[in-house]
Amino acid sequence: MTSPAGSLVSTMRSIRVTRVTRAFAAVLAVAAAALPCGGAAMAMTVPAETSITVTPIADTAASTRIAIALTGEAQVRRAQVTLGDIAHVEAGDAATRASLEALPLGSAPLAGETAELTRATLARWIALRLGIAPADIVWRGAQASRISVAARTVTGELVARQASETLRAWLARDGARIDLNVAQTPHDLTVPVGTLELKPRRLSDTASDAALLARHMSVWVDVWVDGRFVRTVPVSFDVSVTAPAYVATEPLKAGQTLDGSAVEVRDVQWSGRSAPPMRPSDNDEAHTSMAALRLRRPLETGDVLTARTVETTPLVARGDWAMLSESHAGVRLESRAEVLEDGRLGDRVQVRLRHAKSAITARVTGAGTVEVLP
> In sequence order, what are the residues at sequence separation of 6 or more whose Cβ sits closer than 8 angstroms to the Cβ of residue 350?
340, 341, 359, 360, 361, 362
Query: Shortest CA distance to 46 belongs to which of 29, 74, 21, 28?
Result: 21
Q: Which domain holds residue 325?
A: 321-372
Same domain, 130 and 177: no
Same domain, 308 and 326: no
Same domain, 163 and 283: yes
Q: What is the pLDDT at residue 10?
A: 27
Cβ(288)–Cβ(322) below 8 Å? no
264 strand-pairing partners: 247
* pLDDT, mean over the chain: 82
Q: What's the rounded mean pLDDT across residues 131-147?
A: 94
Q: What is the pLDDT at residue 37?
A: 41
**Residue 194 belongs to some domain of the structure:** yes
Same domain, 53 and 143: yes
pLDDT tens, residue by residue, 187-228 = 999 998 889 999 999 888 888 888 999 999 999 999 999 898
Whether the full predicted model's pTM is greater than 0.85, yes or no, is: no
Same domain, 192 and 299: yes
Cβ(68)–Cβ(139) below 8 Å? yes
With cut-offs at 50, 70 and 90, classify the pLDDT of residue 363: very high
Same domain, 128 and 206: no
Same domain, 109 and 207: no
More confident site: 329 or 117? 117
Is pLDDT of 11 > 80?
Answer: no
Question: Which domain-ending residue is among 282, 313, 344?
Answer: 313
Q: What is the DSSP string of 151-192?
A: EEEE-HHHHHHHHHHHHHHHH--TT-EEEEEESSPPPPEEEE
Same domain, 265 and 325: no
With cut-offs at 50, 70 and 90, classify the pLDDT of residue 258: confident
**What does DSSP assign to residue 206?**
S
**What does DSSP assign to residue 21?**
-
Is pLDDT of 352 > 70?
Answer: yes
Q: Whole-angstrom Cα distance, residue 352 to residue 288?
A: 30
Question: Which domain-ending residue is among 280, 295, 313?
Answer: 313
Q: What phi and psi, each to the nearest 5 degrees, are found at residue 9?
A: -90, -35
154 strand-pairing partners: 189
CATH of the domain at 52: 2.60.480.10
For the ranges 38-42, 237-241, 249-253, the maximum mean pLDDT occurs at 237-241
Q: Whole-angstrom Cα distance, residue 126 to residue 101?
A: 11
**Residue 1 belongs to some domain of the structure:** no
With cut-offs at 50, 70 and 90, classify the pLDDT of residue 46: very low
Q: What is the pLDDT at residue 64?
A: 52
Question: Which domain-ending residue is among 122, 149, 176?
Answer: 149
Same domain, 257 and 340: no
Same domain, 122 and 159: no
Same domain, 166 and 299: yes
Is pLDDT of 25 > 60?
Answer: no
Q: What is the pLDDT at residue 330?
A: 74
pLDDT tens, residue by residue, 66-121 = 999 999 999 998 888 999 999 999 998 999 999 999 999 998 888 888 999 999 99
Q: What's the rounded mean pLDDT across residues 341-355?
A: 91
Total of domains in the chain: 3
